[in-house]
Amino acid sequence: MRAKLIDGKQIAEAMRAELQPAIAKLKAGGVVPGLAVVLVGENPASQVYVRMKGKACEQLGMHSETIRMPAETTEAELLAVVDRLNQDAAIHGMLVQLPLPPQINETRILHRILPGKDVDGFHPENVGKVSIGDPTGFRPATPYGVQQMLVKAGVDTRGANVVIVGRSNIVGRPMASLLLHKGPGGDATVTVCHSRTKNIGDVTRQADVLIVAMGKPEFVRGDMVKPGAVVVDVGVNRVDDATTEKGYRLVGDVAFAEAAEVASRITPVPGGVGPMTITMLLYNTVQAARQWAT
């Protein structure tokens, strides 16, 4: 294996340590940063993610609240919980874990969260702020985490050709916006590929930095990677594997073994982007508490 691993877990732990002085300063002023997470239903991946968020808050001495609701929850019932959290002075940041059951309109729920508490960065006001580089806007945690991972790993994006595979509102589009900003982790030349992109391998092979968030197991193969490129795999997919105790294994959107033979640096799955996502959610919550206090 030629590529060097970018250890998201290690970077995330270091960044959480850097966050502690800011939390201590807020506490000294009587403000304990508070994060509320609402989970509807019993999606296994969401349950794990929510537990990890709560644990991370506790480790940093932040206030954490998790509201679990059954899959049969109505939209009106969920909106009532969002309204309560909007008015709760102990909660500075809140998010409703996606996906939601089919009877609930995700857009209506996300738009109901106050922009000042929208630490997922999905409200249109925050999307707009991030797009124009307003520092008071909340950057979505996953693309924010990818950007900071690149910065901390010493990957220079200035003038680099960055190709993003995937155009979702959660990762692809905000990722492109962040990479276009001026400053560390920005100043890149950005191309976004998607399911309608023709000859996608020809495009990905032009990337100095390749960020893959397609939601398809091992979609990017080794021959789609430019020699020496940096590869960031955002995907987390379960694939059946009878040889494992659980009957499945986790893979990314990149065929890791193949890409690692071509790339210079690559993120693993798990242990790459995932820990960074939770860390940047904590950063956004502290930012929300700071903005609330001033």
Beta bridge partner(s), residue 39: 68
- Tally of CB atoms within 10 A around 55: 12
Cα 143 to Cα 55, 173, 223: the distances in Å are 22, 9, 25
Annotation marks residue 134 as catalytic:
no
How far, in whole angstroms, is CA 255 from its chain's centroid? 21
Dist CA 270 CA 276 (whole Å): 11
Catalytic option among 118, 120, 233, 253: 120
- Both tokens of 105, joined, read 């309109």
How far, in whole angstroms, is CA 283 from its chain's centroid? 12
Phi, psi of 251 (to 5 degrees): -135, 160
Check if the beta carbon of residue 154 is closer than 8 Å to that of residue 125. Answer: no
Q: Name the strand (E) or helix (H) holding 159.
A: none
Phi, psi of 94 (to 5 degrees): -145, 155
Strands across the sheet containing 4-5 = 4-5, 265-266, 230-233, 209-212, 161-165, 189-193
Annotation marks residue 147 as catalytic:
no
DSSP at 97: P
* Dihedral sign computed on CA atoms, order 273, 279, 283, 288: positive
Catalytic option among 7, 97, 118, 226: 97
Catalytic option among 7, 53, 129, 233: 53
Annotation marks residue 120 as catalytic:
yes
Residues 6+ apart with CB under 8 A from 133: 181, 182
DSSP at 155: -
Cis peptide before 270 (omega within 30 of 0): yes
Catalytic positions, written as ranges: 53, 97, 120
